[in-house]
Chain A
Amino acid sequence: MLCLSNRFTPYGKAHMKLPEFFSFNQNNLQDYEDCEFRFLLKHVRQLNWPAVESEPLLLQEKKIEIGYLFHQLVQRFFSGMSPILLTDTIEDPILQEWWGYFLDLNLLEQPGVKFAEKMISVPFNGYRLVAKYDLLILLDNGHIEIYDWKTSISQPHRHFLIDRMQSHVYPALLMLQQSCSSFIARPSPGDISMTYWFPSHPQSPVSFTYSPDQYEKDLQILGNKIKEIVAKEENEFEKTNDVRKCKYCHYRSLCERGIKAGIINEDSNSADGDNPFEFDFNAL
């Protein structure tokens, strides 16, 4: 149990202090982007608030489970286990289908050194920036492919994906890691490409190639964002103006922004409901 003194207020005019072992990552930076106040509650105050995030809860839980199992299968696959043996362990028909699509990618046969579930941490502007890559493929010609598995049922538009903090953090961090002698590769920005691959939409991955311009922009975006966060007083973290987001945030009662959780529309193509970034499997 931790009891702070009465001097402590949940969001007073005290200078914001990040927790001791805090690192910036795509997930907490996206939270800040979506709602500054959520960032404060979740990542600075680390406040457990066990309300429902979105409904139907049972479906959400099923999605998390199947996403977790898919990531585990892929990790086992790249650890050298036989695909036939792994196929025998799958009971869920959706997971079976996804697994089949994944095997069709033939990633093992493709050239290059593969790293699954690779976690990299770099010092950045006085703080640490961390990313966990689902799969990195390092090719002989210096090219690096980043794969990220998105196990949502629906697939968001390309521009939505490209705008996410993950699309800024992941390639930029591969550039930043070169400064250390234990670098995994030394690419130039043009050598990096990133693919969001949806097992439920295997034929339409969203890929982009990085560029020097984009790297410069990303350094600015990330640097400015971190600078802005750490300079803030606690009472300067604003609640989002987009109250639709509060329907899918479990802090809604604390913020007095509604009673019931939003319902995910399975037919929806929008990001409001079935958000592929909603579950951070890297944190599981």
Chain B
Amino acid sequence: MNAKYTYSSEKFDLTTEQDSVINSSLNACMLLSGEAGTGKSTAGAFRLRCLIEQGVPGDSILILVPQRSLAAPYFTQIQSHDFPSSSMPSILTFGGLAQRMISLFWPIIAKNAGFSFPNKPCRFLTLETAQYYLATIFDPLLQQGYFDSLTIDPNRLYSQIIDNLNKSAVVGFPPSEISRRLTQAWAGKPSQTVIYQQGQECALLFRDYCLKNNLLDFSLQLSVFVDNLWPSLVCKEYLQQTYRHLIYDNIEEDIPVAHDVIEEWLPKFDSALLIQDTGGGYRSFLGADPQSSQRFFNLCSNKLIFSNSQVKTSELDTLESALGESLLEHKLINQYYSRNSVLPFSVLSFRFYPEVLDWVVREIQELIDKELAEPFEIAVLTPFLSDALRFSFSARFSEADIPFSTYRPSRSLSDEPAVQTILTLAKLANPGWGLKPTQQEVRSAFLGSIANCDLIRADLLSRMLYRPSDDPAKPLKSFDNVNHEMQSRITFTIGEKFESLRVWLFENSIKNTEFFDHWISRLFGEILSQPGFALHNDFDSANAVSRLIESHRKFRQVLQPTDGLQITGSAQEYIRVLEQGILAAQSLTTWNEQTNTNAVFLSPAFSFLMTNRPVKYQFWIDIGSQGWWSRLDQPLTQPFVLNRNWPDGKIWTDFDEVYNNQHTLARITAGLIRRCRSHIFMCTLGYNEQGMEERGALLMAMQNILRQVNFVREVPHV
């Protein structure tokens, strides 16, 4: 069938190449590839629109993306005011599709999947709650001497064991093979193989625990979907009848088991558009497999390539080539620059970190004021974003009145001051728990609770009125006990608020029938957010408290009734695991909130790549850092070995490590350059955040480029 409608290139500012994809027939099976910035996803989003305008029901269209942030062009299209009337297309990740199907068909597959209570509902674990259960299995083994040769935070061990389970699910091998695969590739001391075996033992015990308790972590969700649901007739028919058209974007960032399912499903779709970003694969350490996605070249009848970037300039194109060559060859073989070359980058040297921060903020201010750049056109990128760096930038941006947003999913909830205040107040209200806060914690809690209470007054209050040793049942004394002179010094307004808080805490200890998150809601609503208290107009803190409540709710909702902790004890247990860092991550707020605001974007480079949006100006901070180059030290796992492309039995050598780091860095820098419209400011540092001198591979590669630039400029004109 031919398309009835054709899109006017002018009306929507589309190229003829894009038009040809958008207006393809209603039974076309297409593979569209090209570099980032060539307009592939835009074509995909307009293809969606075209399908609907031609009478395809919206809810028969499946839009599959490897990560939710990559779906932004489709959300934008669907929400545009002139998008046609329609039932809603499904925009899902493969993991989301798996969870949705398990949720719907649970009664049918629970028994065959090996769950002990098929008639009872299942519970989906978040990463944090999975870590919690793993810790309960893991701790007795630690006491027995497991992993005693490793000096590492137990939380990192938990996350690596879960990571191994996830790798087995996304690659598609049984968890019982994890240790064998890692051991075969290991070239170091034999004692490491014991670590791998112990890691696998923990993983299998955890899997067994999940099956016995109807719990599904991410790896089990994928395995149940791929091994039990997808092969079942009822699920397959449901999916194949529901979804008749597929748009699958960024296939190179998806996992091999997703490719397996789509490969089988593909002939059943009426139409399909698969989009591949050549040079992508940034999520490889999460299991993305660009090589696996190559299979679709043979499976799609129409293959199209977009080759013209709509983002980067020719100067940036030259930089991409030169930097790639410099990184991979350690020198420049070709001549990229001439005397008159316009450089789309600048490399600026600073001695200490604060200097670079001050300069970046000043430069951004100038770009906004003099170049009339919008804040959202600017990204500040680092290899990692530590709390200290985030805070330093936050303070400077706020001072300069520059709106900014940060994205760092691994930031700990317990690091939020408002959360620390709530936890301290909970301990004060419940002395029976035996969790006695320190005087400094109590001082911070007063500072964070009472409006206009400065550090000195909070300190005075905590020193005079926090007396847990006098009467453990009433650790806070009344403000009336303070002499008049001191009351005046603290001020009666603050004293009055202190009294309200003290009385509320005394009268509202957490009852045996009360959930901790409910108690926090009451504390927030009845005290902390009332006029005269610190959170009355503090929206960021309110947001942090919301996430704390949500985190506890999820925690206790997956607690087993047999644990006996569902109400009584759940608060103490929650506080314990939160303070130990087991429940570490903040709930992720939506990407829309993070990325669609007119604010400067401050994030690790990888997170920026996963927003897949170009900006006009990029700032690369500390290009000498080894963080741009080396992967994380993970003694229990190895993402490149637990991979379909790693030959069975092959040993991972130093050569592989260097080769992998080189190519990863080249891929990341190319990805960043392809998402830049105008200029990249690169900053080097004499001393890094830790006071060390670093000369990483990115800095060395840029020096090769600068040498060529300087050389051609110094050669006399003939």
In contact, A182 and B52 (Cβ under 8 angstroms)? yes
Looking at the assembled complex, report how far the CB atom of A113 sits from the nearest CB atom of chain B, in whole angstroms: 12
Asked if A47 lies at the interface with its beta carbon under 8 angstroms from chain B, I say: yes
Interface string of B391-403 (1 = CB under 8 A from A): 0001001100111
B521-A3 in contact (CB<8A): no
Provide the B450-461 mask, 1 if CB < 8 A to any CB of A, else 0. Answer: 000000000000
Q: Is A150 an interface residue (CB 8 A)?
A: no
Q: Does chain A have a CB within 8 A of B354? A: no
Contacts of B402 in A (CB 8 A): 5
Question: Pick the contact of B85 from A46, A122, A254 — CB < 8 Å?
Answer: A122
Q: Which residues of B contact A4 (CB under 8 A)?
A: 403, 597, 599
Residues of B within 8 A of A176 (CB): 85
Which residues 182-197 in A have Cβ within 8 Å of B in the complex?
182-184
What 1/0 flags go to B672-698 for Cβ under 8 Å of A?
000000000000000000000000000
With A3-B397, A3-B404, A21-B75 known as contacts, the answer to whether A256 contacts B121 (CB < 8 A) is no
Q: How far is the CA of A176 from the CA of B597 in the complex (A)?
A: 31
- Residues B541-564 near A (CB distance < 8 A): 542-543, 545-546, 549
B residues near A85, Cβ cutoff 8 Å: 107-108
Decide if A181 touches B55 in the complex (CB within 8 Å). Answer: yes
Task: Look across to chain A and name the residue whose beta carbon is closest to the beta carbon of B546.
Answer: A48
Chain B nearest CB, measured from A56 CB (Å)? 9
Q: Is the CB of B57 within 8 A of A89?
A: no
Closest Cβ–Cβ distance, residue A57 to chain B (whole Å): 5
Whether the Cβ atoms of B83 and A123 lie closer than 8 Å is: yes
Contact A3 B87 (CB under 8 A): no
B52, B88, B599: the one contacting A2 at CB < 8 Å is: B599
On whether the beta carbons of A52 and B518 are closer than 8 Å, the reply is: yes
Known: A10-B537, A48-B546. A180 touches B85 (CB 8 A): yes
Given A182-B56, A182-B87, do A51 and B525 touch, yes or no (CB 8 Å)?
yes
A227 at the B interface (CB under 8 A): no
B594 CB–A CB distance under 8 Å: yes
Q: Could you tell me the distance between the alpha carbons of A58 and B540 in the complex, rounded to whole angstroms? A: 27
Assess whether B79 is in contact with A91, with CB atoms less than 8 Å apart: no
Given A119-B88, A177-B85, CB of A50 within 8 Å of CB of B52: no
Asked if A182 and B55 sit within 8 Å, CB to CB, the answer is yes
List residues of A (1-53) whose CB comes within 8 Å of B's CBs: 1-8, 10, 19-23, 45-52
A45 to B120, CA, bound (A): 39
Task: Tell me, in angstroms, the Cα distance from A45 to B404 when the chains sit together.
Answer: 17
Q: Decide: A10 and B539 in contact? CB cutoff 8 A.
A: yes
B542 adjacent to A118 (CB under 8 Å): no
Residue of A2, A81, A181, A256 contacting most chain B CB atoms (<10 Å): A2
Taken together as a complex, chains A and B put the C-alpha atoms of A259 and B119 apart, in Å, by 43
| Beta-carbon contacts under 8 Å, B563-602 to A | 589, 592-594, 596-597, 599
**A69–B122 Cα gap in the complex (Å)?**
12
CB pair A50 B526 closer than 8 Å: no
Question: Across the interface, do A182 and B86 meet the contact criterion of CB distance under 8 Å?
Answer: yes
Query: How many angstroms from the CA of A8 to the CA of B234 in the assembled complex?
Result: 53
* A89-B88 contact given A1-B540, A3-B405, A253-B536, CB 8 Å threshold: no
Say yes or no for B238: interface residue by CB 8 A criterion: yes
A46 CA to B108 CA, complexed, in Å: 39
Q: Tally of A-B residue pairs with Cβ under 8 A?
A: 185
Query: Is the CB–CB distance between A180 and B599 below 8 Å?
Result: no
Q: Would you give the 0/1 interface string for A127-161, flagging 1 where the beta carbon is closer than 8 Å to chain B? A: 11010000000000000000000000000000000
**Could you tell me which residues of chain B, from 20 to 60, have a CB within 8 Å of some CB in chain A?**
52-59
- Whether the pair A47, B542 counts as a contact (CB closer than 8 A) is yes
Q: Are B107 and A89 in contact, CB atoms less than 8 angstroms apart?
A: yes
Q: Which residue of A lies closest to B543 (CB)?
A: A48
CA distance A119 to B406 in the complex (A): 33
Is the Cβ of A7 less than 8 Å from the Cβ of B525?
A: no
B540 touches A3 (CB 8 A): yes
Q: Could you say which residues of chain A place their CB within 8 Å of the CB of B108?
A: 81, 85
Q: How far is the CB of A253 from chain B (nearest CB, A)?
A: 4
- B411 (CB) vs chain A CBs: closest residue: A1
User: Is the Cβ of B104 less than 8 Å from the Cβ of A75?
Assistant: yes
* Cβ–Cβ contact B593 & A46, under 8 A: yes
The 8 Å CB contact of B401, one of A5, A52, A57, A122, is A5
B517-532 interface bits toward A, Cβ cutoff 8 Å, 1 = contact, 0 = none:
0101110111001110
Residues of chain A within 8 A of B646, CB atoms compared: none
B349 within 8 A of A: no
Q: Contacts of A89 on B, CB cut-off 8 Å?
A: 106-107, 119-121
Nearest CB in chain B to that of A178: its residue: B85
How distant is A200 from chain B, measured CB to nearest CB, in Å? 21
Residue of A nearest to B525 (CB): A51
In the docked arrangement, what's the CA distance between A199 and B524, Å? 35
Cβ of B226 < 8 Å from any Cβ of A?
no
CB <8 Å contact, A88 and B119: yes
A72 within 8 A of B: yes
A58-B515, A126-B81 given as contacts; is B539 within 8 A of A184 (CB)? Answer: no
Q: Is the CB of B59 within 8 A of A119?
A: yes
A76 at the interface (CB under 8 A from B): yes
Asked if A128 and B524 make an inter-chain contact with CB atoms under 8 angstroms apart, the answer reads no
Give the residues from 75 to 97 in chain A that come closer than 8 angstroms, CB to CB, to chain B.
75-76, 79-81, 85-86, 88-89, 91
By a CB distance below 8 angstroms, the chain B residues around A10 are 537, 539
Tell me the nearest residue of chain B to A88, going by C-beta: B119
Contact between A50 and B87, CB atoms less than 8 A apart: no
Is A106 an interface residue when CB atoms closer than 8 A count as contact?
A: no
Bound together, the chains give a CA A252 to CA B103 distance in angstroms of 36
Q: C-beta contact mask, B488-528 vs A, less than 8 Å → 1, else 0?
A: 00000000000000000000000001110010111011100
Pair A50/B521 contact, Cβ less than 8 Å: yes
In the bound complex, how far is the Cα of B368 from the Cα of A5, in angstroms? 14
A260 interface hit (Cβ, 8 Å): yes
B336 at the interface (CB under 8 A from A): no
- In the complex, whether B84 has a CB less than 8 A from a CB of chain A is yes
What are the residues of chain B within 8 A of A119 when measuring CB–CB?
A: 59, 87-88
Q: Is B634 an interface residue (CB 8 A)?
A: no
Q: A2-B599, A184-B87 are in contact. Are A81 and B107 (CB under 8 A)?
A: yes
The listed residue with most B CB atoms (<10 A of its CB), out of A81, A122, A260, is A81
A128 in complex: contacting residue of B81, B406, B529, B599, CB < 8 Å: B81
Docked CA distance A20–B376 (Å): 14
Assuming A21-B76, A21-B592, A79-B238, is B107 touching A253 (CB within 8 A)? Answer: no
| A245 at interface, CB cutoff 8 A | no
Complex CA–CA separation, A3 to B602 (angstroms): 11
Q: Does B470 contact A (CB under 8 A)?
A: no
B406, A1: Cβ atoms closer than 8 Å = yes
In the assembled complex, A240 has its CB within 8 A of some CB on chain B: no
Q: What is the CA–CA distance of A174 and B58 in the complex, to the nearest angstrom?
A: 15
Find the residue from A51, A72, A127 having the highest chain B CB count within 10 A. A51
Q: Are A253 and B530 in contact (CB under 8 A)?
A: yes
Please state if B104 and A180 are interface contacts (CB–CB under 8 Å). no
- Bound Cα distance from A178 to B106, whole angstroms: 36
Most buried by A among B87, B105, B520: B87
A241 at the interface (CB under 8 A from B): no
CA distance A177 to B404 in the complex (A): 39
Which 9 pairs show the lowest CB-CB distances between chains A and B?
A51-B525, A48-B546, A180-B85, A181-B55, A122-B85, A253-B529, A119-B88, A180-B84, A5-B403
What would 12 A/B residue contacts be, using CB atoms closer than 8 Å?
A1-B390, A2-B593, A10-B537, A50-B521, A51-B529, A52-B521, A79-B238, A119-B87, A120-B86, A121-B87, A123-B84, A182-B53
Q: A21-B76, A181-B84 given; name 10 further pairs at CB < 8 Å.
A: A1-B406, A2-B594, A58-B514, A81-B105, A81-B234, A91-B120, A176-B85, A180-B52, A182-B54, A253-B526
Interface residues, chain B, CB within 8 Å of chain A?
52-59, 75-76, 78-79, 81-88, 103-108, 119-121, 234, 238, 390, 394, 397-398, 401-406, 411, 513-515, 518, 520-522, 524-526, 529-531, 536-537, 539-540, 542-543, 545-546, 549, 589, 592-594, 596-597, 599
